[in-house]
Amino acid sequence: MTGIPRRALMAGGAVAATAALLSGCLQNPNSGAGGEGGSGAGGGFVNSGSTPNDKVVTILGAFGGDEEKFFNASLADFQKSSGIKIEYTSDQDFTTTIKQKVNAGDSPDIGLFPQPGGILEFASQKKLQPIDSYLDYDKLSNTLLPGFLDAARYKGRVYGAPMRNAVKSIVWYPKAAYEKAGYSTTEPSIQALEKNVADKIAAGGVTPWCIGWESDQATGWVGTDWVEEYMIRMYGPEVYDDWTSHRIPFNDPKVVKALDEVAKILKDPKQVLGGPKGVLNTAFGDAMTPAFSDPPKCYLHRQGNFATTFYPKKVQADLDNEVGIFVFPKFEGGYKGQAIVGGGDLAALFNGNDPDAKKVMEFITSDKFGGPWAKAGGWLSPHKTFDTSNYPNETTKKIAEIANKADVLRFDGSDVMPKVVGSGTFWTEMVKWENGQSSQQTADNIEASWPKS
């Protein structure tokens, strides 16, 4: 997910990504099989979108406003040097619109997907071109954050490449007050953070965690993020993938255990500002605001890189001095590597017969794309090799560093689950859970809602 989670704003979410969609090998596919004149998406190149070789490439995406402005600015030099005109259309209801266009035979040349589920669905219908047939797969794999390409993998081949990154596994804190109190930012585990930082904050009469879930019809998505953080840290990426693709049931004992561990923070009134009722009644965008009081009313805020857009204007104007960050810690006794939960916009090619569209895909999925957008703020490259001097402040550079040092990245789990679960029962049952429902009952209810086919 990029920026503010669009599933929270649109109550949209991913299309079903079943175990069958995510099954298959995870190594580099045989690019020769999908090269020029090769098998492509199962029999030649997919042929949709605008007329090939007309020097016009159409793109449909979900970001508008300033994001659209900076996206277009990032394409300006490429258009001049290549002679290719790029026509970008913004649609806030992208998930619905792209399906309508594809079904009507009016696909864009390229789609920018805010969740991987839509790509997997179109790949199963042979509507998209696998990236190994026109991009340098090995180069991408070497420069991207580890695990990013797996998000759009269908039966062993990858059908979308990231052009934007979003990092969720960040803990924010009010810098001056936190450092004055001498609290640590380098704890080796979430258990150590609780013992050595959170409990000390609580002992001083302040609740350590700033947490807000309220998001109208999407209330609960913040809670799903916490479960995802714990699932990958407790069990690693393989079990995480098994969970999100339903190779293990949602009520597997591992999931119930993760919920119980999350409850040690989110359900404890000594740990979260306002207790469970405060969590549910505080707008997610206002969660960190009490941390900037004098003295702070809470200190720690786990949220994605977009969180700063909701901070007070004074804080945004002096971000490097007002806030500090560190990566969400590992789980003691769990996965030994550093995992990151995040998301991003994925570019996918509908017009496999158009060399112009392939050139555009090559550029927007490369580490050369995005300089003007990065300088304006609010955009992160998915490439470890991106020039970080483009980022406007040290905070953003540190977020990029956190992502670049990660051992593995996994997409927000609810974004790859079936919509009825990922942006449905997972949200609503988490609200019941925060209100007192047991972890076992919560997991059982979500499992019962999982589509049967």
> Does one domain contain both 297 and 221?
yes
8-state DSSP, 213: -
* pLDDT-wise least confident of 284-288, 338-342, 392-396, 414-418: 414-418
Query: Around Cβ 364, how many Cβ atoms within 10 Å?
Result: 24
Alpha-carbon distance of 226 to 168, in angstroms, equals: 10
Mean pLDDT computed over every residue of the chain: 90
**Count of domains observed in the chain:** 2
Q: What is the pLDDT of residues 209-247, one digit of tens each?
A: 999 999 999 999 999 999 999 999 999 999 999 999 999
> What's the CA gap between 404 and 167, in Å, rounded?
11
pLDDT tens per residue, range 116-142: 989 999 999 999 999 999 999 999 999
The CATH code of the domain that includes 57 is: 3.40.190.10
- How many angstroms separate the CA atoms of 150 and 337, rounded? 18
pLDDT bracket for residue 44 (50, 70, 90): low
Question: Which has more pLDDT, 28 or 247?
Answer: 247
pLDDT score at 231: 98
329 and 156 Cβ atoms separated by less than 8 Å: no
Looking at the fold, whether 271 and 308 belong to one and the same domain comes out as yes
Residue 33 has pLDDT above 50, yes or no: no
pLDDT band of residue 12 (cuts 50, 70, 90) is: very low
The residue among 38 and 125 whose pLDDT is bigger is 125
Quick one: average pLDDT of 416-434? 96
d(CA 287, CA 308): 11
The pLDDT of 33-46, averaged and rounded, is 45
Q: Is the pLDDT of residue 21 over 90?
A: no
User: Among the ranges 113-127, 146-160, 256-270, which has the highest mean pLDDT value?
Assistant: 256-270
pLDDT at 38 over 50: no
Nearest to 422 by CA among 2, 17, 9: 17
pLDDT tens digits, one per residue of 72-118: 999 999 999 999 999 999 999 999 999 999 999 999 999 999 989 89
Least confident of 32-41, 63-72, 317-326: 32-41
Angle, CA of 419, 214 and 17, to the nearest 5°: 15
Residue 430 clears pLDDT 90, i.e. is over it: yes
Q: What's 133's DSSP letter?
A: G
| Domain encompassing residue 286 | 170-340+418-449
Question: Residue 440: is its pLDDT beyond 90?
Answer: yes
* φ, ψ at 12 (rounded to 5°): -95, -110
Same domain, 70 and 201: no
Are residues 147 and 174 both part of a single domain? no
Q: What is the pLDDT of residue 199?
A: 97
In this predicted structure, the answer to whether residue 383 has a pLDDT above a threshold of 50 is yes
Instruction: Express as a percent the part of the chain with pLDDT over 70.
Output: 90
Residue 410 belongs to a domain: no
Q: Does any domain span residue 237? A: yes
12 in Cβ contact with 6 (< 8 Å) = yes
pLDDT value of position 5: 54
Do 295 and 381 fall into the same domain? no
Q: What is the pLDDT of residue 165?
A: 95
d(CA 231, CA 351): 37
What is the pLDDT, as a whole number, of residue 153? 93
Tell whether 25 and 142 lie within a shared domain: yes
Residue 404: inside a domain: no
**Does residue 397 carry a pLDDT above 70?**
yes
202 and 314 co-located in one domain: yes
What's this model's pTM, rounded to 2 decimal places? 0.89
Do 156 and 263 reside in the same domain of the chain?
no
The mean pLDDT of 391-402, rounded to a whole number, is: 96
Judgement on whether residues 225 and 258 belong to the same structural domain of the protein: yes
Cα separation, 311 vs 285, in Å, equals 8
Bridge partners (DSSP) listed for residue 323 = 174
Given a cut of 60, is residue 1 above it in pLDDT?
Answer: no
| 299 and 378 both lie in a single domain | no
| DSSP assignment string, 299-333 | -BEE--GGGGGGS-HHHHHTHHHHEEEEEPPB-TT
Token code pair at residue 50: 């605008």
Percent of the chain, pLDDT > 90? 86
Note whether 180 and 38 are same-domain residues.
no
Residue 405 in any domain: the answer is: no
